[in-house]
Amino acid sequence: MDSLDLQVLQQTKSWRLAGHQVTLITVLETWGSAPRAPGALLALCGNGLVVGSVSGGCVEDDLIRRVKQGEIITQPTLVTYGVTNEEAARFGLPCGGSLRLVLEPVDSIEWIDEVLTRTAHHELVARNLNLKTGEFTLQAATRAEQFSFTNSTLKVLFGPRWRLLIIGAGQLSRAIAQLALMLDFDVICCDPRKEYFLTWDLPQTTFSTMMPDDVIVDLALDAHSAVVAVTHDPKLDDMALLEALKSPAFYVGALGSRTTTQARKQRLTLFDLSAEEINRLHGPTGLHLGSQSPAEMALEIMAEVVAVKNQIPIQQKKSGSALPHAVLSTQV
């Protein structure tokens, strides 16, 4: 679930508390090009106001029109837009795209309160909705789970499915954390140095003063986790990398020049890491965008993290940069 969908739930709660009828709309399935992925949310207030999105806008306009004409949803209802190319064009769906939605009346906000509370504590929650009866359950979920639906059940995940561990809490780390939050990562920053901890003031993140390698072991990094080391202190960065490179984390990167990266990889050969594990290291971390400021450097780093997450070949790198072999082999 992304931050836009979190806003949808928050606004839905506000509308219900104000006494309005609200319909929650979830993208079930898409064909062709579609602006929003399955699981995306939109809330439609009884007065015609809307928050969130399911398309480029024309589908939203049709949903608003239906509400203003007095249509009331009393149970989960499936609706499909863009069955034909003509209809796809009329609703602004590109390339003949189509999408299938479920419209659901919001009768209670208790489940919304629970979801908002649990996700605020960095929990991942699955909501299972019976499409025939409207009954639902909430349960703890894992990052390996995904949005799904059958003819009778819809499962939507709430909370960040991806997380980023930043080693070091300097100015660059703050910029990385802010971008990562916008990209819906669960952000953890680790720095045992007291002077950095005392000035960290990003409340949406988790901060740890443990040694980085201990944090990595404690987090039990999975394939939905990324690690970026930016302290410039080998005692901290290298210890974190020793554990991160042995984990299933989908991305492990470290700040530093190409010369620094080669020296770091040479040091790592002295420990219990295989050549394959060492070659997983992205270094220097980030794409080559000609950065001139911490904010631009953070953009370079998060752009590469997102590219790897989305399994997009990495090409925008400085000549001579150390790239994992798996990434190099996919370049075109």
Residue 85 scores a pLDDT above 90: no
Q: Identify the weakest region by mean pLDDT among 30-39, 54-63, 98-107, 129-138.
A: 30-39
Inter-axis angle of helices 234-244 and 258-268, nearest 10? 60
The whole-number pLDDT of residue 119 equals 85
Reading the block at residue 211, the tokens are 């040694």
pLDDT tens figures, 247-278:
999 999 999 888 988 999 999 999 889 999 99
Chain length of the chain: 332
The whole-number pLDDT of residue 109 equals 94
User: Quick check: helix, strand or coil at residue 308?
Assistant: helix
The whole-number pLDDT of residue 309 equals 93
CA-closest candidate to residue 300, choices 281, 277, 318, 313: 318
Contact 96, 88 (CB under 8 A): yes
Contact 35, 2 (CB under 8 A): no
User: Quick check: helix, strand or coil at residue 75?
Assistant: coil
Q: Mean pLDDT, to the nearest integer, of 39-46?
A: 91
Which residues, 6 or more positions from 47, have their beta carbon under 8 angstroms from its beta carbon?
20
DSSP state of 163: E
Residue 59, judged by CB atoms within 10 A of its CB (0-12, 13-18, 19+), counts as buried
Residue 9, judged by CB atoms within 10 A of its CB (0-12, 13-18, 19+), counts as buried
Q: Are strands 162-167 and 136-140 parallel, antiparallel or unpaired?
A: unpaired
Which residues, 6 or more positions from 299, have their beta carbon under 8 angstroms from its beta carbon?
179, 289, 291
Q: Mean pLDDT, to the nearest integer, of 2-7?
A: 75
pLDDT tens figures, 128-173:
999 999 999 999 998 888 899 988 899 999 988 899 999 999 999 9
- Largest alpha-carbon pair distance within the chain? 72
Residue 87 scores a pLDDT above 60: no
pLDDT tens figures, 48-60:
899 998 876 678 8
The rounded distance, in Å, linking the Cα atoms of 36 and 323 is 32
The whole-number pLDDT of residue 329 equals 42
Contact 258, 266 (CB under 8 A): no
Contact 21, 105 (CB under 8 A): yes
All structural domains of the chain, each given as residue ranges with its CATH number in brackets, are 3-158 (no CATH), 162-325 (3.40.50.720)
pTM of the predicted model as reported, rounded to 2 decimal places? 0.76
pLDDT tens figures, 281-307:
998 899 999 988 999 999 999 999 999
pLDDT tens figures, 167-222:
999 999 999 999 999 998 999 999 998 888 888 989 889 999 999 999 999 999 99
Torsion of CA 162, 168, 172, 173, to 10 degrees: 30
Which residues, 6 or more positions from 6, have their beta carbon under 8 angstroms from its beta carbon?
116, 119, 158
The whole-number pLDDT of residue 105 equals 94
The whole-number pLDDT of residue 51 equals 92
Q: Are strands 153-158 and 162-167 parallel, antiparallel or unpaired?
A: unpaired
